[in-house]
Amino acid sequence: MSERLQPGDTAPAFTLPDADGKDVSLSDHKGRKVIVYFYPAALTPGCTKQACDFTDNLELLAGAGYDVIGVSPDQPEKLAKFRDKESLKITLLADPDKTVTEAYGAFGEKKNYGKTYMGVIRSTVIVDEEGKVERALYNVRATGHVTKIIKDLGI
């Protein structure tokens, strides 16, 4: 089980391919706040709802100085399908070996329908302009999560 991040921690640096295979790094966003969220799989109902919620609120979040990055274990090709099918405007990154997901504490034991297994824990980490963790939220719900973040951030 990976260690969960706490406010004040330095956010782990990363470089991952986006839906078009281009490398995107956390450091590309220095000087802006970044909402990095981890989700189990593209093109699934809950993950689609969450990604669409972030896209629907992207203008509001961007206006308040936040960039949004979604990270999943999917390959770039699947992320491109997801983006195109749902008209997503957020940055989607591929982490097939789950290195970044683990570094952010978003991989571990899950329970579903009475079964215990290892998987991606739906999580959101808000990183400030200096690369420090402002908030780290784990086991979040797909539905209503974006609205809660906006409310909590006072946007």
Question: Catalytic residue at 47?
Answer: yes
Catalytic residue among 47, 100, 125, 136: 47
Note every long-range contact of 92-99, with CB atoms under 8 Å and residues 24 or more positions apart, other chains counting. 92/18, 92/19, 92/42, 92/51, 93/16, 93/17, 93/18, 93/24, 93/69, 94/16, 94/17, 94/18, 94/19, 95/16, 95/71, 97/73, 98/73, 99/14
Question: CA angle at residue 64 from 146 to 90, to 5 degrees?
Answer: 50
Q: Are 121 and 139 in contact (CB under 8 A)?
A: yes
Can you tell me the distance from the alpha carbon of 52 to that of 8, in angstroms, rounded to the nearest whole number? 29
Residue type (1 letter), 43: L
Give the tokens for residue 1.
Answer: 């089980």
The residues carrying an active-site annotation are: 47
